[in-house]
Amino acid sequence: MLRHLQIRDFAIVDHLELDFEPGFTVFTGETGAGKSILLDALGLVLGDRAAADLVRPGAERAAIVASFELERCPALLAELAGRGLDAGRECIVQRQIGADGRSRAFVNGIATPIGVLAEIGARLTDIHGQHAHQLLVHRSHQRVLLDDFGGYHEELAAVAAAAAGWRQLEEELSAARGDDDDVGATVNRLRDQLEELDGVALAPADIDALEQQHRRAANGARLLEGATEALDGIAESEASVRDRLGRVGRLLGELERVDSRLAGIVRLLGDAGVAVEEAATALRRYVADLDLEPDTLERSERQLALLHELARKHRCAPAALHELRERLRLRLEQLDSLGERLERLTRQRTEAMAGYRAAAEVLHARRQQAARALETAVAAAMAQLGMPGAMFHVDVEAPAQLQPLPEGGDTVEFQVSANPGQPLRPLARVASGGELSRMSLAIQMVVTSDRDVPTLVFDEVDAGIGGRVAEIVGHELRRLGTRRQVLCVTHLAQVASLAHQHFLVEKTASADSTRTTVTALPPEARTNEIARMLGGARVTKQALAHARQMLAS
């Protein structure tokens, strides 16, 4: 339970320290005095979002410290110990907000991330704000309330985990596909292209050889004629180079006997003769091997035409077709591997969807079970709050098309009938603000009764009601205060008179500042405050007498 709250330089509070008792505590005061500021400060120290405008003008920082006694909260003590934040049987949480908007948090003197503080804060205090009844009309919030009441945390976690697993596989599938929405069609297209390029897309050296073959086939007659004429000039005719070299060599050989200086020339001519003979042999072989078949030319022309046609089709040079073919082959290999991966991921996604469906069906059954229990409990609470003929129904409907959502796909709707004989209608269509407030309070009291949060806070949840119903609400809050610590901001004397502890919130203004003060009221001062709440600005003897009677009873 909350034992002590200290606030410095927060909004219009310069310095405030409050000690709290067990049971039912109320805060009262004029409208605008700053009652809700106290609850805002409590929410902030328990992890709510901070802003620079919360710091009192002229101050460097705002600071809020709350001390909780955890004697009856062994689970929370164990959690704090597990986080390394334990400090005996209490928990002291602190929040500082600088004028620059920066925020720091501490748990038992240890700096703590805001997210961790919020998790711990949710275990310490459950705050129901002024507009809880407005939030209650939303189906999403109704689902949360049903889940809180049901307490099937394991089933909710299983559904959330199954949805996360399915979503991850869906993202992996999308990323694996990339730009290829139809991998199979892409694979078939690549195979067709490769089949077209195979045998045609030649390496640059092979293209050079093909072009040379085509030139030889196109100029075969000219090559044969020229080679034959050259062979005749070298070795076959009477005046061939070989014969003339032989005659010159023999002449100089005879003269070498006379002058030995001709020996080198004779050797050169001999080498020349050998070279001429080798050239003649090569020419004979060339002539013999020269291919003058007509189909050779036709074949090379067809192959070159196909090569250039494919080059135009793929918008590249003929020599680049070979590299293109290798790229396409590599891409096909990748897609073949991708196809296997996509098949595996698709199978896993199907299995994940089946797992999600199974978890969602279990959660749906638990929600149906909790809905029946909540109906009974809320109907009883509404009867206690002066609505004996009211009916309450929780409709839990599974979706026709199940989509993996972390909270499950169920649609939860609270339906009520405020008076006997009236049909059930969605809670959002309840016309009376007083009826909605009482229903909201009944639902909140039922939902929070099964939670292990030690401190419950209600901020004007009794708005819109009065008279006998207000007294009933006060008794219910006091009864709830016998099991938990209950803090309540109220404008109703019937509610305030039933509290175990009473704080008066007042606002004072001077020429240069406005401040909020909070005072724990002793019995006589409490009588005066109850009388003010009954009679307005002027407290009459009758109002005082009525206040004393209310407090005495």
Torsion angle, alpha carbons of 380, 385, 391, 397, to 10: -80
Q: What pLDDT sits at residue 432?
A: 60
Q: Dihedral of CA 24/386/381/365: which sign?
A: negative
Helices (H), strands (E): how many in the chain? 18, 15
pTM confidence score = 0.60
Q: What pLDDT sits at residue 450?
A: 55
Write the CB contacts of 513 (distance below 8 Å, at least 6 apart in sequence): none
Q: What pLDDT sits at residue 330?
A: 85
pLDDT digits (tens, 9 = 90+) for 158-189: 999 999 999 999 888 887 776 555 666 777 78
Q: How many CB atoms lie within 10 A of CB 470?
A: 24
Q: How do beta strands 485-489 and 103-107 pair?
A: unpaired
Q: Return the structure tokens found at 62.
A: 């705002």
Task: Answer for the pair 2, 472: CB distance below 8 angstroms, yes or no.
Answer: no
Name the residue among 27, 135, 143, 128 with its Cα closest to residue 436: 135
Cα separation, 35 vs 42, in Å, equals 12
Task: Answer for the pair 372, 151: CB distance below 8 angstroms, yes or no.
Answer: no
For the chain, domains (ranges, CATH) are 1-130+453-521 (3.40.50.300), 184-335 (no CATH)
Torsion angle, alpha carbons of 413, 419, 422, 423, to 10: 20
Q: What SS3 string covers 438-460?
A: HHHHHHHHHHHHCCCCCEEEEEC
pLDDT digits (tens, 9 = 90+) for 133-162: 566 778 888 898 899 889 898 999 999 999
H or E stretch covering 217: helix 204-218
Res. 2 pLDDT band, cuts 50 70 90: very high
Q: How do beta strands 125-128 and 455-459 pair?
A: parallel
Torsion angle, alpha carbons of 175, 181, 184, 189, to 10: -110
One-character DSSP codes across 31-58: TTSSHHHHHHHHHHHTTPPP-GGGBPTT
H-only helix segments in 397-507: 433-449, 467-481, 493-496
pLDDT digits (tens, 9 = 90+) for 207-260: 777 777 777 777 767 877 887 888 888 888 877 888 888 888 888 888 888 888
Give Rg (Cα) of the chain: 49
Tell me the C-alpha to C-alpha distance, in Å, between residue 112 and each of 95, 390, 406: 10, 47, 28
Q: What pLDDT sits at residue 242?
A: 84
Q: What pLDDT sits at residue 324?
A: 81
Task: Answer for the pair 433, 421: CB distance below 8 angstroms, yes or no.
Answer: no
Q: How do beta strands 13-19 and 2-10 pair?
A: antiparallel
What is the greatest pairwise CA distance in the chain?
168
Q: Which residue has the tokens 């099991």?
A: 483
Cα separation, 201 vs 307, in Å, equals 7
Q: How many CB atoms lie within 10 A of CB 552?
A: 8
Partnered with residue 106 across adjacent β-strands are: 94, 111
Any idea which of 229-238, 431-440, 470-479, 500-509 has the lowest mean pLDDT?
Answer: 431-440
Q: How do beta strands 391-397 and 411-417 pair?
A: antiparallel
Cα separation, 234 vs 228, in Å, equals 10
State which amino acid sits at residue 493: A
